Amino acid sequence: MNEWKLRDALLEKSDSLSDKAIRTRLSRARRVERILREDLDVVVADNDHVYAALLALRSCPQEHNGGLQNALRWYYRAVNGRDFPKLSEYCPKEQFSYEVAANTGAGLHMQSHSEGAAALASTNEPSEPIGSLWREFCSVKNRISSALGRSNNVVGELAERIVAEYHGRAPLAVSHPSADVELEDGTLIQVKARMLTDVRTTPLSTFRSWNFDVLSVVLFEPDGGIAFGGEIPCSVARRYAREVSHVNGWQISTTHDFLSDSSFTDLTEAYRRTLENL
């Protein structure tokens, strides 16, 4: 789900919503994704899927006063620029259903009627042992860290490598106090990265100084893809910072206002291509 698109649609609402009301609607949209176990961009791209999802949400135990259905309708409007019809007025071309997954009690999954039995059977298959998954995770993490050849902060180190490779440079020494990449003309770039969850607004790691020229922000999806990548002048980024005394530094959160600032150079696709070629 593109939360920024939904936020923009809510901000453009004729009767202006408070920040709290907007956060509530965003939270409900995230909950719909968790319940459906489906990216809302996939759902709203097909009217039959939207119809099936609304029917499922209407009977969902977590639904209260239509809040979840309204969240889905709001996202449909934000993406498609029009309202989805009333359920009584829509006739689906293809039949889909969302049913409560047998092993969760709350999650829902979509299936065609012809695939129902196979999908239900798959939910009863035992998951892999947590212990073996943990060992596999640690093994892969250590191999990535070794390949990067730097610290154990894999997310941060990978982001620095992506930014450096994009600019045709090598990352600076780990001990550099204020920057991670230096361009040929002397421009200093500090790189901040985060692995996102269902909560898209998150604080970047603490800024200890502002002795750099450009801030690069790289936000990773949980599956490893790049959700956002861009560069913004330090002087502009600093306007969004707030001083936090107990950490002796400043913090910037990945709010809509920050990431949509016109001073940002959107390099998401360029960073994605760079990652694919590493």
Give pLDDT tens digits for 169-179.
Answer: 999 987 677 89
Model confidence band, residue 127 (pLDDT cutoffs 50, 70, 90):
low
Question: Is residue 113 predicted with pLDDT exceeding 50?
Answer: no
Q: Report, as an integer, the average pLDDT of 46-57.
A: 90
Q: Report, as an integer, the average pLDDT of 112-136.
A: 61
Percentage of the chain lying above the pLDDT 70 cut: 87
Model confidence band, residue 82 (pLDDT cutoffs 50, 70, 90):
very high
- Name the residue among 84, 119, 79 with its Cα closest to residue 99: 119
Question: Is residue 213 predicted with pLDDT exceeding 90?
Answer: yes
Q: What is the pLDDT of residue 6?
A: 84
Q: Report, as an integer, the average pLDDT of 178-188.
A: 95
Distances (CA, A) of 43 to 26, 184, 195: 16, 46, 24
Domain ranges of the chain: 3-122, 151-276
Report the amino acid identity of residue 207: F
Q: How far apart are CA 241 and CA 209, in angstroms?
A: 11
Q: What is the pLDDT of residue 123?
A: 44
Pick 112 or 221 by higher pLDDT. Answer: 221
**Domain formed by 151-276, architecture:** 3-Layer(aba) Sandwich (3.40)
Percentage of the chain lying above the pLDDT 90 cut: 40
Q: How far apart are CA 159 and CA 194, in angstroms?
A: 9
Q: How far apart are CA 110 and CA 98, in angstroms?
A: 4
- Name the residue among 277, 265, 261, 271 with its Cα closest to residue 4: 261
State the CB neighbour count (10 A cutoff) for residue 199.
11
Distances (CA, A) of 96 to 30, 70, 117, 136: 22, 20, 14, 37
Q: How far apart are CA 43 and CA 29, in angstroms?
A: 12
Report the amino acid identity of residue 123: T
